Amino acid sequence: MARKILCVAEKPAIARAVATHLSGGSMQTHSIRGNQFVKNYEFDFNFGGIWGSCSVTMTSVVGHLTGLDFERQYKGWLSCPPGSLFEAPVHESVDNVRDKLPIAENIKNQARYSKALFIWTDCDREGEHIGSEVRHQARSGNSRIEVKRAKFSNTERAHVLRAAREPIELDEYQANAVAARIELDLRIGAAFTRLQTLQLQAVVAALKERVISYGSCQFPTLGFVVDRYLRVQNFKPETFWSIKVMLNREGKKVNFLWKRVHLFDRAAVTMMLERCLLAKQTKVTKVNQKPTSKWRPLPLTTVDLQMMGSRFLRLDSQTIMKVAEALYTKGYISYPRTETDQFDKAIDLKKLVEKQLPDNSWGQYAQGLLDGNFRTPRAGRHNDKAHPPIHPVCWVSPNSLAANERKVYEFVVRRFLACCSDDAKGQSTEIEIQYGEEMFHANGLIVLERNYLDVYVYDKWESSQQLPKFERGELFEPTEANISEGKTAAPNYLTEPELIGLMDANGIGTDATMAEHIAKIKEREYVATRARGSGRSAVQELIPTRLGVALVEGYDNVVSGLPNSVSLSKPFLRKEMELRMMEICSGTKTRQDVVQESLDMYRDVFIHTQRRIEMLKAACRKYLIEEAAS
């Protein structure tokens, strides 16, 4: 067999899974020198039309292979004005940390003897860029090597075999979009970080030796926390009034709620109630009884895992991701970083359900699914075309898991079984009445079939008190009708699941990094966590520190004079960068265009900040000296 193909995946686990399928399980495994994670797998495979029978070496990288940095003379913080980092020369090199050099060497050496490089990185934007990094290494060993990539979105056997026989081209546009992102994040992050750190350290003693970093993701993340904090601080409660109608019938109390909910004008409400009382009788205008259901959850994505996890498992998002990664590495659950909330038709879900039969808590439930209760999961609207939704891969005894691992594993399994179940079914009743000119309603619910709720203990859906009988058109005199008074309540401080939801909705960070950004602004002491409530019902809330508030207020003051008022603590700038990346992907803009445009925009803000640096300093003095003293 003369021809050799070099396959390179994005991570060791994919290399192993693909090699196993292509070789039918009979590959040879070799460790590489200098890296404990990456392995080379050797076997023969018939690629069909394109390359025919070949010997194959399948290996991997471990995420990005290279990093971008400034030339040496710009590395010292005092070596140049921070603003010059917008233009300073940069270079890409193999990261010397975490044993990446041996991985690069391995690819270069293997490429020497290979006819073709076959890239198996994830089929997303970052994956295309990692593929281009791999290509660069391979070409340094063999400049004439042919380059292809595999198109795949999971490691099901049939799917992998087809991908192996239908190679496509690397998407240069997507790789370029990522290259632009990398350069912008570096230049903008470093320039602003050095500027504000050097300037603010000199103002307040408390900031000496502290790094005050700026990042296009960490600042908007901080902005969300501060925004909510200010809304809580500035909240003024308002009194409102409402009309309540109650009827005693068949020994049951029925409370009717006002259609207007409440008003802030006491006199008006009093007058409305008086008109009701004048009418004496109320008339039933609607009796609506209909079947209703509570939908089973969607297949699990990373964002949902983090949001539901912080809410129900009492773990912060970073812990959840660490634990999920450990479960993935041990082969218990699928890849935990995914945006996909729809299962591919090719996945044999019943086989996965069957694996859970031995479990003491949910084994019986799983059996029920196999005995006829199984339903095809709902399909959400997201598909990253790289990974399936998070699901259990095999059953694992709770005894062999650490406490946090057990919690996360149990959540993943229960969620998966819930997805494969039927919706909960019930009957809802809505009674609407007219009393004078005003409308009121009462709602009832009877849960008839719990279905997925039996296994998905995190959702609550319970029958309300049963309503007595009403008939459309009937008249009755209410037992009570009066005014009730209430006060609007201040919003709560932001919780971690809420913050993740905001980041997700605004495109701040990715599924894999959102937890890191939150951890980063805690590490920088821009925000702190505090428990709201106590015991089992305690919730962690995020509260900005004085420094966090000072930075947001200071920058808002700085840019308030700019014509299109760009705020560094709002998500808009990041969103704009995302839109420009998409333009590179669609071919309407080049990488150079986008880098130039974005740098011009941020350079404006930067120069403005330098000119009005006093406003930033003043905000820090205000919060860190005056307030600390008072």
Residues that bind DNA (CB under 7 A): 10-13, 37, 62-64, 67-70, 75-78, 95, 98, 100, 122, 124, 126, 130, 181-182, 185-186, 189-190, 193-194, 197-198, 201, 209, 211, 213-219, 325, 328-329, 337, 509-513, 517, 520
Compute φ and ψ for 160, nearest 5 degrees: -65, -45
The answer to whether residues 184 and 580 touch, using CB atoms and an 8 Å cutoff, is no
Task: Find the catalytic residue in 41, 173, 214, 335.
Answer: 335
Q: Minimum CB separation from DNA for residue 372, in Å? A: 38
Q: Is 250 left (phi over 0), alpha (psi -120 to 50) or beta?
A: left
In angstroms, the Cα distances linking 191 to 70, 198, 323, 482, 530 are 11, 11, 35, 63, 32
- Our CB check for DNA shows the closer of 356 and 506 to be 506
Measured between alpha carbons, how far is 560 from 567 in angstroms, rounded to an integer?
A: 8
Q: Minimum CB separation from DNA for residue 203, in Å? A: 13
- Our CB check for DNA shows the closer of 104 and 453 to be 104
Print burial letters for 442-455: b (CB count within 10 Å at least 16), e (below 16). Answer: bebbbbeebbbbbb
The answer to whether residues 41 and 19 touch, using CB atoms and an 8 Å cutoff, is yes
Q: Minimum CB separation from DNA for residue 168, in Å? A: 20
The DSSP string of 245-290 is EEEEETTEEEEEEETT--BS-HHHHHHHHHHHHHH--EEEEEEEEE
Q: Minimum CB separation from DNA for residue 315, in Å? A: 17
- Non-local (6+) Cβ contacts of 122 within 8 A are 10, 14, 130, 386, 387
DSSP label of 78:
T
Q: Is 66 left (phi over 0), alpha (psi -120 to 50) or beta?
A: beta
The letter for the amino acid at 589 is K
- Our CB check for DNA shows the closer of 3 and 322 to be 322
> Any idea what the Cα angle at residue 419 is, between residues 414 and 425, rounded to 5°?
100
The letter for the amino acid at 381 is R
Compute φ and ψ for 210, nearest 5 degrees: -95, 140
- Our CB check for DNA shows the closer of 78 and 489 to be 78
Q: Minimum CB separation from DNA for residue 23, in Å? A: 20
335 is catalytic: yes
Residue with tokens 């992050």: 189
- Our CB check for DNA shows the closer of 121 and 421 to be 121
Q: Minimum CB separation from DNA for residue 12, in Å? A: 5
- Our CB check for DNA shows the closer of 214 and 452 to be 214
Structure tokens at 470: 């009403």
Q: Minimum CB separation from DNA for residue 215, in Å? A: 2
Measured between alpha carbons, how far is 531 from 539 in angstroms, rounded to an integer?
A: 6
Find residue 555's DSSP bridge partners: none
- Our CB check for DNA shows the closer of 200 and 445 to be 200
Q: Which residues are catalytic?
A: 335
